Chains A and B, each alone.
Chain A
Amino acid sequence: MTTEDDATLVRRSLDGDRDAFGELVLRYQDLLFNVALRMTNDREDARDATQSAFLKAWRKLGTFDRRNKFFSWLYRILVNETLNRVRRRRVQVPLDENMIASERSPDEQAEIAETGALVEAGLVRLRREHREVIVLRHFLGMSHGEIGGLLHLPEKTVKSRLYTARQALAQVLRRRGVTSA
C-alpha cells in the first residue's frame, strides 16, 4: 500500500479526475471484495457492498482527512456497508447442513474441509470483531501491526482477538465434525 500514491490519487479525484479514482478502485477492489465476501458469505452481497463502498467513498471524499490512510477510511466505509447488508438480510447465513451431513465419509469431509468451504461458512458464525481479524490476517495477509493500525487497536489486542477468534472457529468446525479435539 503506497500511501503517498493514494494521497495523490485522492487529490486528483477531488479535482474531478475519475481515472484517478478508478485507479484507487483497481488498487483496493480485491481487498475490499474479499473482506465483504468473508463477512457476508454471499458473493452478490459482497459485490454490492464493495461497489457501494466505493461510491460512498467517492461522494464523501471531501470529508476524508488526508492525514490518515485512505485504505483505513475506505475499509470503515466497507464494513458499515457490509453490516447494513447483513442486517437488511436479517437472517444469519446458515451453514449448509446438507454439505456436512453425517452420511459423508471422513474422506469426503476432509475434502470439503480442504476446499475451505466450511471455514467460510463457519466464519459467519463468529462475532463480527473475530471474523474481521481472521479475514484481515488470513485472507488479506496483514500483519498484527497493520491490523491494529486499521482497526485502531493495540497490537496486543489484535493478537488476543485472533487467538479467541481461531478458538471460536475451531469450536465451530469441531461441532461440524471437521476437526476433533
Chain B
Amino acid sequence: MNDNELDRLIQDELEGLATPEAAERLRAILARDPRARARHGEMASVFRALREAKRESAPAEIREGVLAAIAAGHEAGASRLGRPAAVTSTRRRPTGLGWAVPFLAGAVVGGLVVALAYPHLGAGPGALGPSGRTGLPVTGTLPPPEAPVAPRQIARAVLPVEARPVGGALQLRFAAPPGARVMTIEFDAGTLAPLELRWGRPGRGRAAIEPGRVRLELTEGDLGVLVLAPLRAGEATIRVTTQGDAGTAQGTLHTTLPPRKE
C-alpha cells in the first residue's frame, strides 16, 4: 500500500466513512507499522483541530447593514437604482456629463435612511413609510438642482424615510456609494449634537466629529449609522455632501424636531 492509499484509508476511518472491512484492514496495518501509526496520529490531530476550530455566529450588524442599505434604495433585481420611497427629488438638470451618472446614482442608492425615533416606545425596526405615522415630516432633495446628472437618475432619486420607534434621536444611516471618498454631514450645532457613530466596519473609516459637522472618510461598501440628538425643538436642516472619484453630490434634509420627552 502506498502513502496515498494509506492516507485515504486513514481519512475514511477518521471521517467515519470506512467500511467495516476497510477499518479492520487499517487496524491491522496500524498494529504492525509504526510509520502508519505516525501518519494516523498526524491526521487524527488535523481532524481534531478542525473540530475545535468552531463555527462562529455572524456579527449581528450584517443583517442590519444589509437591510439598511436596501432601505436606502437598492431594489431587488435592479442593478443600480432603487425605487422611490419617501422623499423624491423634484429638480432635474439634464446634461451630457455621463461620467457623473454612476457616482450620483451610487450616491442616491447609497444615500441615507433617516429614522425619527422615540425611545419610550421601545419597539424594533419597522418602516412606517412616507407618511411617517409616528415620525416627523422629513423632506429633502438629493441630489440638489445643481448636480450634473441625467434625467432618468434624477427622476428616480430618492431619500427613503423610515420612522422607527427605537430611539430618541435622529439617525442617519449611510452606505458609501461606489467611488465615494468623503461624506460630510453638516447641521446647526445649536439644534443637533452628534451622539454616536457606528461603522459597518469598525476602525476602518476615519471620522472627524465637531459641533455642527461630521466628516467621514469612506471606503466603498462602508455602512454606518450617525445618531444626532436633538438639542431643542424646531426646524432642523442637515446638509449632506458626498465627494468621490467623479465629483461632488449634495443633498439637504429638513425636519421638525419635537420637544424632548423625558
Q: How far is the CA of A180 from the CA of B58 in the complex (A)?
A: 34
Is A119 interfacial (CB 8 A cutoff)? yes
Query: Contacts of A33 on B, CB cut-off 8 Å?
Result: 56-59, 62
Asked if residues A51 and B66 are in contact (CB atoms below 8 Å), the reply is yes
For A32-64 the 0/1 string (1 means CB < 8 A from B) is: 111001000001100110111011001111110
Query: Contacts of A37 on B, CB cut-off 8 Å?
Result: 56
Is B2 interfacial (CB 8 A cutoff)? no
Asked if residues A139 and B53 are in contact (CB atoms below 8 Å), the reply is yes
Tally chain A residues at the interface, Cβ within 8 Å.
55
Quick one: which of B202-231 are within 8 Å of A by CB? 202-204, 221, 223
Query: Contacts of A14 on B, CB cut-off 8 Å?
Result: 76-77
Distance in angstroms from B165 CB to nearest chain A CB is: 17
Quick one: which of B14-40 are within 8 Å of A by CB? 38-39
Interface-centre pick from B59, B66, B70 (highest chain A CB count, 10 A): B66
Asked if residues B56 and A163 are in contact (CB atoms below 8 Å), the reply is no
Is A167 interfacial (CB 8 A cutoff)? yes
Asked if residues B45 and A178 are in contact (CB atoms below 8 Å), the reply is yes
Asked if residues B76 and A44 are in contact (CB atoms below 8 Å), the reply is no
Number of A-B residue pairs having CB atoms within 8 Å of each other in the complex: 148
Asked if residues B204 and A58 are in contact (CB atoms below 8 Å), the reply is no
Tally chain B residues at the interface, Cβ within 8 Å.
49
Interface-centre pick from B4, B45, B62, B67 (highest chain A CB count, 10 A): B62
Distance in angstroms from A21 CB to nearest chain B CB is: 7
For B156-167 the 0/1 string (1 means CB < 8 A from A) is: 000000000000
Q: How far is the CA of A90 from the CA of B131 in the complex (A)?
A: 48
Closest to A172 in B: B46
Asked if residues A114 and B70 are in contact (CB atoms below 8 Å), the reply is no
Q: How far is the CA of A13 from the CA of B221 in the complex (A)?
A: 21
If A14-B76, A59-B78 touch, whether A21 touches B58 (CB-CB below 8 Å) is no
Asked if residues A29 and B76 are in contact (CB atoms below 8 Å), the reply is no
Q: How far is the CA of A163 from the CA of B78 in the complex (A)?
A: 42
Q: How far is the CA of A43 from the CA of B79 in the complex (A)?
A: 27
Distance in angstroms from A55 CB to nearest chain B CB is: 6
Asked if residues B58 and A62 are in contact (CB atoms below 8 Å), the reply is no
Distance in angstroms from A135 CB to nearest chain B CB is: 10
Query: Contacts of A113 on B, CB cut-off 8 Å?
Result: 45, 49
10 A-B pairs with the lowest CB-CB distances in the bound complex, closest first: A116-B53, A62-B77, A33-B58, A29-B58, A138-B50, A119-B49, A116-B52, A54-B66, A179-B42, A61-B76
7 contacts across the A-B interface (CB closer than 8 A): A22-B66, A51-B200, A55-B69, A61-B77, A134-B50, A170-B43, A173-B46
Contacts beyond the supplied A26-B63, A33-B59, A47-B200: 12 A-B pairs with Cβ under 8 Å: A16-B83, A30-B56, A37-B56, A44-B201, A51-B221, A55-B70, A62-B78, A114-B48, A116-B53, A116-B54, A139-B53, A174-B42
